[in-house]
Chains A and B, each alone.
Chain A
Amino acid sequence: DAKTTQPTSMDCAEGRAANLPCNHSTISGNEYVYWYRQIHSQGPQYIIHGLKNNETNEMASLIITEDRKSSTLILPHATLRDTAVYYCIVRVGPGSARQLTFGSGTQLTVLP
């Protein structure tokens, strides 16, 4: 699976959009981009995933560049409860069994 690179930390004002970038320049054509977050020491929570089209769900939006080498997770109206470590990982699609590697993630702090 491709490696990912994320900033170590980011701040965002409450109520504003939080934009979290991720670089995955070695991504393969059959690898999906997944985002998870971890609040304090709880188990990581799935947020969203995509292959090449932009995706939106009730939690967030995912923007993937046309060359698929980077993506951005957008939390449209950040709240204090969104303070967490956000992980971007890539995972192979159907038909393959691969180990998954999480990086160190981005610590997002939402400020009041």
Chain B
Amino acid sequence: DAGVTQSPTHLIKTRGQQVTLRCSPKSGHDTVSWYQQALGQGPQFIFQYYEEEERQRGNFPDRFSGHQFPNYSSELNVNALLLGDSALYLCASSLPRGRVNTEAFFGQGTRLTVV
């Protein structure tokens, strides 16, 4: 059973550029959430997608956007990159609220470095 997979694993971008990160959820999961983890900090919630719509959003600017596809995979897009966007970006998949088990499973992350 494939777990949550993310691509790419590492990425270096220049300030002002745009980046797209990808995530495939665990088999059977239809809800995808994205988190940003700065060095030495706990992950911070960016947003969550379910049924191809953004259901919730954390305190992140509009430069952060996303998409979910019919096969439940998801993309995170960040425009006009800032040095402060350098972080580990984590994707988590789960079943939506109301299901018996809402345990979240995470991918290995994408390390984004903005120079």
Q: Do A and B bind each other?
A: no
